[in-house]
Amino acid sequence: MPVTRTFTLVACDGQRFQIDPALLVKHSSIFADMLSTVHEISPDAEQERALTEDAETVAAFVEALTDKREPDTSGAWIALYRMVDKYDCPELLPMLQLGGWWCCQTDPYLAYSVGILMRDPQLAWAASRYCRKYGPKFGQPIKPGPAFEALPAVAQTLLLDHLAYKAAIVCHILSWLKLDPSNLYTCHKRGCGASNLCQSLTSRILKLQPDDVDQLRVLLGEAEAEKQMCRHCWYHVGLTVDKVEEIWKKVHEKLRRRFEGSLETYFARDRKPSSGMSEAEARNERMTGGICSQGLGNGLEPQ
Neighbours of 69 (CB within 10 A): 12
Residue-wise pLDDT tens digits, 174-208: 666 555 445 545 566 666 666 666 666 666 655 55
Distance CA 229, CA 225 (A): 6
45 within some domain: no
Q: Which residues contact 141 (CB under 8 A, 6 or more apart)?
A: 131, 132, 135
The pLDDT value recorded for residue 286 is 45
15 within some domain: no
Determine the structural domain holding residue 208 and report its residue range: 167-252
194 within some domain: yes
User: Could you say which residues of the chain have pLDDT below 50?
Assistant: 1-4, 40-41, 136, 138-139, 180-181, 184, 273-275, 285-303
The pLDDT value recorded for residue 58 is 92
Cα dihedral sign for 56, 58, 61, 66? negative
77 within some domain: no
The pLDDT value recorded for residue 184 is 45
The pLDDT value recorded for residue 131 is 76
Q: Strands of 7-10's sheet, edge to edge?
A: 16-19, 7-10, 48-50
Distance CA 159, CA 178 (A): 28
91 within some domain: no
223 within some domain: yes
269 within some domain: no
CB 248 within 8 A of CB 173: yes
Distance CA 259, CA 171 (A): 19
243 within some domain: yes
The pLDDT value recorded for residue 203 is 65
pTM of the model: 0.59
CB 237 within 8 A of CB 198: yes
Domains held by the chain: number? 1
